[in-house]
């Protein structure tokens, strides 16, 4: 039945209501499923490392540190300054290695090259290595993301 000025019939209205309700019901079942299969992830804001572990590094050398579930590299420059990188290739996520003799970072997966400052210089990598901010605070080194206090 449809009233004179109505846009749709009573049947259509009820079907719409029922369909909408069924859709909402399905969504309410689906939501926890989807929520469950994507675990939350938060990249660390910063990691605190004892300076003593990195004090004895020679110039132009690197040492590992864990950046969440990714490997990080702390690099000592020739002038004694420290740099920190996320040691993951920007191409397809493989872990990179620092080749001190050549002063380059290298990814063995698809032969990607970065210079000593992490700039992509050869092979497939589309971006430079991600750099982190590194600070000395008393006995500790603090490595943090950009924009973190």
Partner 1 sequence: MNLKKIAAEIQAWFDDRFGLSAIFKFLREKEVPQHRHSIWYYTGSTILLLFGIQVITGFMLVFYYKPTLEEANKSIARIMTEAPLGWIIRSVHFWSASFMIAIVFIHLFSIWIAKSYRKPREATWMSGVFLLLISLVFGFTGYLLPWDDLSLSATKVGTDIPRSIPVVGIWITKLLRGGEDVTGDTLTRFFGFHVCILPVFIFILLAFHIYFIQKQGMSLPLAFENKGKKVRSLPFWPNFVYREMIVWLVLVGILVTVAIFLPPSLDKAADLMAPAPEGIKPEWYFLFLFQVLKIFPAKILFINGDTVAVLMIAVAFVLFFFLPFIDNKPTERKGKIITVVAYVVIVFAVAMTVWSLL
Q: Which of 6, 9, 15, 64 binds partner 1 (CB under 8 A)?
A: 64
Nearer to partner 1, 44 or 117 (CB): 44
Here's the x/- map for partner 1, 65-84, by CB under 8 A: it reads as -x-xxxx-------------
Least separation in angstroms between residue 77's CB and partner 1 is: 20
Q: Which stretch binds partner 1 (CB under 8 A): 5-13, 18-26, 124-132, 136-144?
A: 124-132
**Hey, what are 116's tokens?**
């000593």
Closest CA to 125 of 75, 98, 100, 90: 90
Q: Which of 45, 53, 77, 111 binds partner 1 (CB under 8 A)?
A: 111
């Amino acid at each position: 039945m449809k009233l004179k000025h109505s846009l749709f019939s009573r049947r259509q209205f009820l079907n719409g209501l029922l369909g909408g309700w069924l859709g909402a019901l399905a969504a309410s079942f689906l939501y926890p499923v989807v929520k469950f299969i994507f675990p939350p992830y938060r990249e660390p804001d910063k990691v605190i490392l004892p300076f003593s572990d990195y004090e004895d590094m020679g110039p132009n050398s690197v040492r590992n540190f864990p950046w969440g579930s990714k490997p990080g590299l702390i690099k000592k420059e020739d002038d004694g300054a420290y740099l920190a990188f996320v040691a993951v290739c920007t191409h397809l996520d493989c872990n990179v290695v620092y080749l001190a003799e050549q002063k380059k970072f290298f990814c063995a997966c698809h032969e990607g090259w970065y210079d000593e400052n992490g700039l992509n210089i050869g092979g497939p990598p589309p971006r430079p290595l991600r750099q982190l901010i590194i600070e000395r605070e008393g006995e500790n080194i603090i490595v943090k993301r950009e924009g973190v206090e």
